[in-house]
Structure 1
């Protein structure tokens, strides 16, 4: 399947993920409709101008308008469908990936392009759910809210596990045996990191009181560290690692050093603080190599990257949410 997009920027942003499921994007950089193109990909409301500009060139062939992603306005796909359903010019489908192997498709269940798209995605091992366009929009709106609520619950549970001296990891696994709950509880792409930020600050202050910590590595997206209180790591040598190929933030903390190599970032560090693992490979790293690169292997982990027992065997101290209550004693 080949779809027109409004610019090369859209190809750069979405071409890889859609190409992995058989959808090729072609930038609309000429006045002629390219032969072999099946329709349009719209990712934001302004992209709708592309439809109007090319409408005269489409003829009577039924084209696909694929409204894609989580950034489009609520109910926009349904509005487009209402505009075109009486003319038969376009079949409008609302599409979004829910996970790496799940896709939501909103539109006419028996539409020509809907049937084609379902078969295409199945060929690339993606499971699809066909529903209404508004249902796709609502699911995308509610998913982050639900995940944030679930994470708040487990952080509160983690505090209770600390008080009782029991393991949140084991309790969460036990609860996750019920399929209605599921095993995963951390929300890596969270919009509000205030709870995680408070927990990290508290744990860092504890370890700074108990150990001689000079060099600290902050592992995770820079947006998280910007939410921390000003001066919370004052007079410390602070290194930040966001993962490979991450853009340099516009606002940077004075005195903090950004590294594009995790080996260089953790070299001679006393404390590793893991805020999140988005876009990084930390959970896949060999723990002996990670620990040996540090001067002192103290680790505070808000992303639950490592099995607790394995981490305890390699690090001098390992603290995760709801684990090892008295680790800094």
Structure 2
């Protein structure tokens, strides 16, 4: 197989960097359709569509007038069944519509189309060359998997949070029980889903546990560790009258009105200086490398509520005034 980059035209030219990087890792290069038309040199193998908004009647006619090839439908904003709809409006002798989705953090791919289609098999071989495991299925079956995966993962997260409540009552460790369940390959070790669209369950747990700390300790400064998008979904009334700082790993900090102070993760010392309570909503490289002794030295009072179980329980007990993780009964006053 010729492993030269596969070149696809992007109708708007405004493709998110994450999409470009993910496709580039599979040997797929994107070219602006507008620039290609302007230069008069269209040497692409096909067209990439990442949303239905890119496909109005004018652009459709213009794109379909280019040389035939692959019509790759990929993205989170693709309407259910839309790839099949496109297939019914394209000349099948010239264009092959393929629905693509990545799962397992981009390590596996779902390829939806005709099983014996030229471009379906081209993508299968290309992804295999780049060490991606692929499943060939129908376009609508990819749509169904994309629709159901977040629902399943949300259910799985809810299960383990509820299991954490049981472990609290019984005085056993959720971390250990989850690992034990994960010994069964049907469950696996990825027990808490980190990439979620709905933060409400963890935010409710964090708020509840933080309020326990507020009842027992004199808390003036609270640090929230995680992207601003995570904390924007949390009720903030209980934080009124206190200093609040967000430590975010995001490139662009976008705090809401309740979180006027924000710092990037590399400046965590600034945020934690004289802090009384640290809430960890999402772990990143900075928190993973942070030693507990450093944490204690920075904070005025080392109370930590951790939804990500970043620290080993025995070490947390010995270093911190209080440490609370999901399903770990570690509060000193309980």
Answer whether TM exceeds 0.5 for this pair: yes
Match of 2:55 among 48, 59, 66: 48
Match of 1:257 among 261, 266, 270: 261
Structure 2: gaps (5+ residues): 1-5
2:80 is matched with: 74
Provide closer, same or farther for how the CA distance between residues 41 and 57 of structure 1 changes in structure 2, counting only shifts above 3 A: closer
Match of 1:304 among 288, 309, 315: 309
After TM superposition, the structure 1 = structure 2 runs for residues 82-121 of structure 1, keeping only pairs within 5 Å, are 82-84=88-90, 87-100=92-105, 101-121=107-127
Match of 1:197 among 194, 200, 203: 203
Most deviating of 65-74 and 121-130: 121-130
Contact 1:207 1:328 in 2 (8 A): no
**What is the CA deviation profile of residues 198-230 of structure 1, one whole-angstrom value per residue up to 9, with x for unaligned ones?**
211111111112223222110123233233334
Task: Give the Å deviation of 1:112.
Answer: 1.4
**What is the CA deviation profile of residues 100-134 of structure 1, one whole-angstrom value per residue up to 9, with x for unaligned ones?**
21111111222111121112112222111111111
Task: Give the Å deviation of 1:159.
Answer: 0.7
For residue 67 of structure 1, give the secondary structure of its aligned residue in structure 2: strand
After TM superposition, the structure 1 = structure 2 runs for residues 258-297 of structure 1, keeping only pairs within 5 Å, are 258-260=262-264, 261-277=267-283, 281-297=286-302
Contact 1:162 1:325 in 2 (8 A): no
2:329 is matched with: 324
Structure 1: gaps (5+ residues): none
**Whole-angstrom distance in 2 between the partners of 1:179 and 1:21:** 28
For residue 278 of structure 2, give the secondary structure of its aligned residue in structure 1: strand
List structure 1 runs of 4+ shifted beyond 4 angstroms: none
**What is the CA deviation profile of residues 27-59 of structure 1, one whole-angstrom value per residue up to 9, with x for unaligned ones?**
11242663431100000112224332122232x
2:14 matches 1:5 = no
For residue 9 of structure 1, give the secondary structure of its aligned residue in structure 2: coil
Match of 2:234 among 217, 228, 232: 228
Contact 2:229 2:254 in 1 (8 A): no
Provide closer, same or farther for how the CA distance between residues 310 and 7 of structure 1 changes in structure 2, counting only shifts above 3 A: farther
**Whole-angstrom distance in 1 between the partners of 2:33 and 2:285:** 34
For normalisation by structure 1, the TM-score amounts to 0.90
